[in-house]
Amino acid sequence: MSSPSTTQDFFTQVPRIPPDAIFDLTKKFLGDPDPRKVNLGQGTYKDENGAPWILPVVKAAKDKTQDANHEYLPILGLATFRKLATELVLGKDASAIALQRVASSQALSGTGALHLAGEMLFRALGGEAPVYITKPTWSNHRQVFATIGFEVHDFKWYDDNTGQIDFESITNTLRNAPPRSIFVFHASAHNPSGCDPSEEQWRSIARIVQERGLFPLFDAAYLGITSGDYDRDAFAIRHFINECGLQAAVCSSFAKNMGLYGERIGLVTFVTQSSDEAMAVESTLEQITRGEISNPPAFGARIVSAVLEDESLRAEWARNLSTMSTRIADMRKDLFNALIKLHAPGDWRRVVEQRGMFCILGLSLEQVLHLREKYHIYMADTSRISIAGLNPSNVWYTAEAITKTVQDKNLGRINYK
């Protein structure tokens, strides 16, 4: 028997992966000593002072659950959370719930829900079913589905020149995609463009999905924050499932709409044709979860359950959602008005026309880097900004910096036409 080499090359073929762009941007922001710095990168809600906001309803729910035990949850998660969160997203009177055609599993926030949904769909449909994601989209979508083994395609969702949705591109892609293709839709507040279809456009999309035999998967990360009304923001999901009777998956997160970022609390929900299929899907979700994380964490699930099962807390949550959505909308208006007053070159209507936490400004990469290096304003390389990073103390400074940057003829031209 030969002796092992003293220099065994176990990891020489492992490539070094570049850091995640948004988290790396946050790291650079935190290391910047300049007092003027502004973080418009990471999509987390901040209050009018630029500080993290613990929702009042979450504080009350924490008091209510402070004496909970620390035993393991079931593999599929906290039963009350799964029931209440499913009723929240589909509507309590959804026929799919009454007919027991729904399978659900607690997940590690929205990303974990997407991964669970992807693993489930890979087993159900196999690797031959392509996944379609919007262009642009949340940076993690491609990685989640590609690492599972899917062939991932993107399709044009947003027109860079107009700053608006490209509905013709969307419908053409849907009509030409092979049956059983999986389409990842943003339920509301499209990330990063802030461009959502109108209700009539969602109805058209649903008709094509039904006609072509496609499978819709909704990434529902911002329900309640977009408009301040959870039910209104859940329109697309409920139309597809409750009105059109489509099978679908919904990946819900309570990171943004309850401020539970670090608690990693999410839910994946599948609506199937029958109760037997729902039971089979749920058993598979249970097996996948057991093999990956054994069972999910309890704290965030108990917080959400405490809010949803108590009428007074639920009413307080509705007020908290309105507070967040209103502040974001006000910051959009303030930024737009400041850019107009400063005579910033370009058409800035997209700032107030887009919805939700994010906005793509339409700047070149050279302009974005200039803003970062000269003015200490941090945004994604695509010029996607988190509106929640703006507040009364920094919005005018941000507008001034953008104005001076787009006026600088030595920098790359602004993308507006």
Dist. CA 309–CA 140, nearest whole Å: 32
Calpha distance 203→15 (Å, rounded):
45
| 134 burial type by CB count under 10 A (0-12 exposed, 13-18 middle, 19+ buried) | buried
Helices (H), strands (E): how many in the chain? 16, 13
DSSP string computed for 182-242:
EEEEESSS-TTT-----HHHHHHHHHHHHHHT-EEEEEES-TTTTTS-HHHHTHHHHIIII
**So what's the pLDDT on residue 181?**
98
**Of the CATH numbers 3.40.640.10, 3.10.50.40, 3.40.250.10, 3.50.7.10, which one belongs to the domain with range 74-309?**
3.40.640.10
Is residue 138 part of the annotated active site? The answer reads: yes
Please state whether the predicted TM-score (pTM) of the whole model is above 0.75.
yes
What pLDDT does residue 417 have? 34
Q: Where does 37-94 have alpha helices with state H?
A: 56-65, 79-90
Taking the CA atoms of 196, 201, 207 and 212 in sequence, report the sign of the dihedral they define. Answer: negative
* Cβ partners under 8 Å of residue 104, min gap 6: 76, 82, 85, 86, 267, 268, 269, 270, 282, 285
Domain boundaries, the chain: 21-54+315-407, 74-309
Sheet with 152-156, edge to edge strand ranges:
102-108, 265-271, 248-253, 215-220, 182-186, 131-135, 152-156
Based on C-alpha coordinates, what's the Rg of the chain?
22
Q: Which of 196, 219, 233, 334 is catalytic?
A: 219
Spell out, as residue ranges, where the chain has pLDDT lower than 50: 415-417
> Which of the following is catalytic: 53, 138, 157, 202?
138
Bridge partners (DSSP) of residue 359 are 385
pLDDT of residue 128: 86
Residue 152 φ/ψ region, left for φ over 0, alpha for ψ in the -120 to 50 degree band, beta for the rest: beta
53 is catalytic: no
* 384-386 and 152-156 strand pairing: unpaired
* pLDDT recorded at residue 294: 97
> Active-site residue 409, yes or no?
no
How far is residue 141's CA from residue 115's CA, in Å, rounded to a whole number?
Answer: 9
Per the structure block, which two tokens stand in for 276? 């037997």
Residue 121 identity (one-letter amino acid): L
Task: For the domain made up of 21-54+315-407, give the CATH fold.
Answer: Aspartate Aminotransferase, domain 1 (3.90.1150)
Model pLDDT for residues 72-107, shown as the tens digit of each residue: 999 999 999 999 999 999 999 999 999 999 999 999
Residues 6+ apart with CB under 8 A from 67: none
pLDDT value for 2 = 57
Catalytic residue among 196, 233, 256, 348: 256
What integer pLDDT is reported at residue 160 of this predicted model? 86
3-state DSSP assignment of residue 159 = strand
With contact defined as beta carbons under 8 Å apart, do 347 and 180 qualify? no
SS3 of residue 46 by DSSP: strand
How far, in Å, CA of 78 to CA of 296, rounded?
9
